[in-house]
Structure 1
Amino acid sequence: MKKIAIVTGASRGIGLSISKMLLSLDFKVYGICRYPEKCNFNHQDFHLYKGDLRESKTIPLFLDQIPTKQNITLLVNNAGIAYFSPIEELSSEKINEMVQVNLTTPMILTQSLTRVLKENSGRIIFIGSVSGEEISPWGNVYGSLKAGIHHFARLLFDELRKLSVKVHLIIPDITKTEFYDHLNIEPDTDPKSYLLPDQITNIIKNLLLDQSGLVIPEIVVKPEIFKLKRKKFQK
């Protein structure tokens, strides 16, 4: 039986790039996202399920659809959502969305799969953000939640290392994906000012292929220069 990987936010950006890489390593990938119909990638071992990670009931419904769950060896907590604005302009609905997707969902999904990952000497990978490490104007809620999941990953590393489960935290800086579609900022046009999803994926691939016996618990990845630009909106 093939090894099984679970990837959240698997239909685009970093999540889709990771899924393609895992398929090349002969994994069977089960992904979840809100709009699987918008993904134009197909593969016989790529199974994309529709689910709203803003809803707590989504996780058990998703896991119930996966056959042979006993073969799960990898969990990639990748999905994220962000709203940037002064705190008084953030609605309670948007705050709750960010809490659920960025913090609650990866914690519950991790809890749900830890037992089988222990049995299979598996891995858990968290895709964090430099917003969780630095002061981000108007990004206080998103940054706080990313800081929370970073700390969770670090504590989980120490909890599970003696049980043969490897935990990795990847902390990328500005990455050119659809993440910025609904924000008023976006990566600059200078290719040295942003990362590409495949660059993040290559780092994860090297971690998965390494058989040296060491574990790299945390990696921060940044482009050569820092530069963002504000979007120009048509009046």
Structure 2
Amino acid sequence: MTKPKIALVTGASRGIGLSISQMLVCHGYKVYGISRNPGTCKFTHELFHLMACDLSNSKEIDHFIVNFPEIKDISLLIHNAGLAYFAPVEELSSEKIREMVSLHLTAPMLLTSAFTRSLKQNRGRILFIGSVAGKEISPWGNVYASLKAGIHHFARELFAELRKFGVKVHLIIPDITKTDFYKNLNFEPDEDPNSYLLPNQIAEVIENLIVNDNGWVVPEIQISPELFKLKRKKQN
């Protein structure tokens, strides 16, 4: 029996991360998923192992890395976890700013540093799920957008650094995607199905990159719905 490839997906219990994980197990990957609350995930599969870790806490990340069961065999690392608080900058609490910085920048950098030696040995891949917000001026999304711009640049730097070692680095930049990302925001995708992406569509793009390995690399892809429409949530 062929030994499954090992993947690590952050934010794997829901949304885009869960769709990516489901796609990977269908292709025979053993997926280790990181989630702050793994008990909320209803998806089960013999190749899917959800592990608890708060990626906004660097001590928990250190503990996770030390105890990761198959670090030498990992061939795919996907940075997907994220959250956003949108508000005028003076209204963002220090706790919310620190949480976003830790989750969007510190955690991906720490995990990448810890796993890169193995990824080099296994000629693996690193994927970053960015955001179109990181390419645009985003009123009230100032901290979130700036952090996404930062992780975009980190991905581009890694592509240049690691390609000579056979490690493929991809930056995926989705536009409006219908997930619970918007549950704490005052706006959300429009009802028009042509105005938003679905998590499985992001997974399909990644599937094409991973499965159809033709010896060349697509370092960056932006995915957008046909139409641009957002709506304000009704105030209670």
TM interval, shorter chain, is: over 0.9
Q: For residues 134-163 of structure 1, give each alpha carbon's deviation from its aligned partner in whole angstroms, at most 9, with x where no partner exists.
A: 011101100000000000000100000000
TM-score normalized with structure 1 length: 0.98
Alignment coverage as a number of residue pairs: 234
**Runs of 4 or more consecutive aligned structure 1 residues displaced over 3 Å after TM superposition:** none
| Aligned match for 2:165, one of 159, 163, 166 | 163
Worse overlay, 9-18 or 66-75? 66-75
Is 1:125 matched with 2:127?
A: yes
Is 1:228 matched with 2:234?
A: no
Q: Which blocks of at least 5 consecutive residues in structure 2 are unaligned?
A: none
8 Å Cα contact 1:176-1:197 kept in structure 2 = yes
What RMSD, in angstroms, separates the aligned Cα atoms of the two structures? 0.8
Aligned runs of 1:170-209 on 2, under 5 Å? 170-209=172-211
The 3-state SS of whatever aligns with 1:52 is: coil
**Aligned partner of 1:112: which letter?**
A
TM-fit CA distance, 1:182: 0.9
8 Å Cα contact 2:81-2:103 kept in structure 1 = yes
**Counterpart in 1 of 2:149?**
147
TM-fit CA distance, 1:45: 1.1
**Aligned partner of 2:183: which letter?**
D
Worse overlay, 65-74 or 116-125? 65-74
The 3-state SS of whatever aligns with 2:177 is: coil
Measure, in 2, the Cα distance between the counterparts of 1:51 and 1:164: 29
| Aligned match for 2:69, one of 67, 70, 82 | 67
Q: Which blocks of at least 5 consecutive residues in structure 1 are unaligned?
A: none
Measure, in 2, the Cα distance between the counterparts of 1:50 and 1:206: 29
8 Å Cα contact 1:7-1:32 kept in structure 2 = yes
Measure, in 2, the Cα distance between the counterparts of 1:189 and 1:228: 9
The 3-state SS of whatever aligns with 2:31 is: strand
Measure, in 2, the Cα distance between the counterparts of 1:165 and 1:57: 27
**Counterpart in 2 of 1:34?**
36
**Aligned partner of 2:111: which letter?**
L
The 3-state SS of whatever aligns with 1:212 is: coil
TM-fit CA distance, 1:219: 0.1
TM-fit CA distance, 1:60: 2.4
**Counterpart in 2 of 1:55?**
57
8 Å Cα contact 1:2-1:71 kept in structure 2 = no
**Aligned partner of 1:65: which letter?**
N
Measure, in 1, the Cα distance between the counterparts of 2:213 and 2:6: 19
The 3-state SS of whatever aligns with 1:171 is: strand
Measure, in 2, the Cα distance between the counterparts of 1:87 and 1:211: 43
The 3-state SS of whatever aligns with 1:204 is: helix
**Aligned partner of 1:111: which letter?**
S
* Percentage of matched positions with identical amino acids: 65
**Counterpart in 1 of 2:213?**
211
Measure, in 2, the Cα distance between the counterparts of 1:211 and 1:196: 24
TM-score normalized with structure 2 length: 0.97
TM-fit CA distance, 1:50: 1.2
TM-fit CA distance, 1:16: 0.1
8 Å Cα contact 2:65-2:111 kept in structure 1 = no
